[in-house]
Amino acid sequence: MKEIEVNLTINHKKVSRTVPANWRLLDLLREGFSLTGCKEGCGVGECGACTVLLAGEPVNSCLVLVGQAEGKEVLTIEGLTAANKEEELHPLQQAFIEKGAIQCGYCTPGMVLSSLALLRRNAEPGVKEIKEAISGNLCRCTGYKQIVEAVQLAADWLKEDGDYIE
């Protein structure tokens, strides 16, 4: 098996690894760095359980070959914290808890990261925009009402704080 060296930034830290050339970004995160927040659900980009931010945009890490991430920044749920407070939850995470938008938790990391990308683009999204932003993330436990409410709550909190940093 051919191997390649990949250099990228994961959760604000520059890293380098030599890995099989056929590895997906999901494999690198889970097997190469033990970042298990992104999950393999379907493996074909349908469920969104493996969603991470790649260069600030939500992607299904099961569809991204590791070489495509070369030189780019990756943010996983493990790298998401309140601005300058590594021990606190990000307001999106806290809002998901408060609104009961998590149950089994399998889809939650991808939902949170897709929502973060939305809030970075639009500080005051409407329900339709929130639904569109999370449309690539399937949830079988909560329905979507609580998730939409959590994103709205987080947007309100972030607007009050003026804080849209990861």
End-to-end CA distance of the chain: 37
Looking at the domain assignment, is residue 49 inside a domain? yes
One domain, residues 75 and 95 = no
pLDDT in tens, 125-151: 999 999 999 999 999 888 799 999 999
Q: How far apart are CA 163 and CA 156, in angstroms?
A: 11
76-130 pLDDT per residue, tens: 999 997 655 666 889 999 999 999 999 888 999 999 999 999 999 999 999 999 9
| Token pair in block for residue 95 | 């809002």
Q: Coil, strand or helix: which one is 136?
A: coil
Domain total in the chain: 2
Q: What is the pTM of this model?
A: 0.92
**Read out DSSP for 65-120?**
BGGGGTT-EEE-GGG--BTTBTTSPPHHHHHHHHTT--SS-SSHHHHHHHHHHHHH
Q: Are residues 26 and 46 in the same domain?
A: yes
- Residue span of the structural domain in which 55 resides: 3-79
CATH number at residue 12: 3.10.20.30
